[in-house]
Amino acid sequence: MKTHNARPYSGMPKDVLENMKVEQFLAEISAGNAQALHSLYSLLSPLLYGLSLRITRDPVLAEDALQEGFLRIWRSSTLFDPRKGSGMGWIITIIRNRARTAARRSARQYVEVGSPSYLETLPSEDLSGLDRVVMGEAVLRVHTCLGKLPDQTRDAIQLAFFDGLTHQELSQKLSVPLGTIKSWIRRGLAQMKTCVSGSENISLLDLLAGEHVLGALPFQVENAFERRRERDAVYCMAADWWQDQFAYVAMAIKPVTPPRRIWQSIDEAVSVTRNREAISWEWWLLPAAIAGVLLFQMF
């Protein structure tokens, strides 16, 4: 049996505690608190850099994805709505999308079938009950459900999620008919939904939302599904649910400490932004002060 370092039990799963911290930081960032951005980066950057490396397979691309992702978080934190999903899910989606875009632009799609799976980075099945709580119940639950899928189905979902492969690209990579790939993905998502949620009431909308968030749908229709997500509340709920589940998948990645220069670049960019905002405010303040003096002299 493997040994694990004991950590104090807080009475609440680690993944819940981490998400509470994340959402608190996001609220502070949305109010313009740059220190909160640094705290968020310190908390999550090893996980997110590890995820970026897994997707891009290139340290330079991974660094760019992490930097661009955190600048997006700084600029767009006001868009996060905790009623629609977790802070972890929102952030991981941002970083994953940046990494997928970078990998696709560089055409570095060379992960091989049978290469080490992200599942190997997860705790083994012999963990004690307390260790399971500390490591994060939701992450382990999703891991367990994925582990129950047939190997070919799990591989297809893994390649779609981590390597950004669509149905058509999976068909070509695995040398399997397109219809078979679609069946594997949908059947796997249905089994995963049933396993995680405990409900067998799976709709076509649930599966479409799962394929959309997974990234398996053709790129030319992704924007259409994003627009549907904005205007269709039922579809939005389904997509948000999958976003959180795949965030738990990403949280299984082995953390990698990023180079210090990434935060230095982020900090410099944030400082430039704040200085520009301050200068802009000062330019508005000066005319207002002059106008106030003139009005005082008139009366």
CB-based contacts of 227, cutoff 8 Å, min separation 6:
none
In 3D space, the residue among 294, 258, 240, 238 whose CA is nearest the CA of residue 81 turns out to be 240
Percent of the chain with pLDDT over 70: 76
pLDDT category at 15 given cuts 50, 70, 90 is low
pLDDT score at 124: 46
Q: Where are the alpha helices (DSSP H) in 107-203?
A: 129-135, 137-147, 151-163, 167-174, 178-197
Tokens of residue 128, six digits: 């004690």
CA–CA gap between residue 66 and residue 53 (Å, rounded): 10
Tokens of residue 278, six digits: 């301050």
pLDDT tens digits, 150-208:
999 999 999 999 888 899 999 999 999 999 999 999 999 999 999 999 988 899 999 99
pLDDT category at 276 given cuts 50, 70, 90 is low
Q: Is the pLDDT of residue 114 over 90?
A: no
pLDDT category at 20 given cuts 50, 70, 90 is confident
- The class level of CATH for 111-254 reads mainly alpha
Max intra-chain CA distance, the chain:
86
Q: Is the pLDDT of residue 110 over 80?
A: no
Helices 204-214, 233-250: inter-axial angle, 10-degree rounding = 50
Q: Is the pLDDT of residue 139 over 70?
A: yes
What's domain 12-109+259-299's architecture? Answer: Orthogonal Bundle (1.10)
Q: Which carries the bigger pLDDT value, residue 52 or residue 121?
A: 52
- Which of 32-41, 79-88, 109-118 is the least confident region? 109-118
CA–CA gap between residue 150 and residue 107 (Å, rounded): 29
Domain layout of the chain by residue ranges: 12-109+259-299, 111-254
Q: Cβ(91)–Cβ(82) under 8 Å?
A: no
DSSP 8-class letter at 15: H
DSSP 8-class letter at 51: H
* Nearest-5° Cα angle at 286, 284 to 290: 125
CA–CA gap between residue 107 and residue 102 (Å, rounded): 9
In 3D space, the residue among 120, 68, 97, 112 whose CA is nearest the CA of residue 269 turns out to be 68
Q: Which carries the bigger pLDDT value, residue 220 or residue 81?
A: 81
Q: Which carries the bigger pLDDT value, residue 219 or residue 26?
A: 26
Q: Could you give the count of Cα atoms lying within 13 Å of 275 in the half-sphere of its Cβ?
A: 6
Q: Cβ(136)–Cβ(144) under 8 Å?
A: no
Across the chain, what does the average pLDDT equal? 82
The answer, as to whether pTM is greater than 0.85, is: no
pLDDT tens digits, 56-68:
989 999 999 999 9
pLDDT score at 11: 46
SS3 84: coil
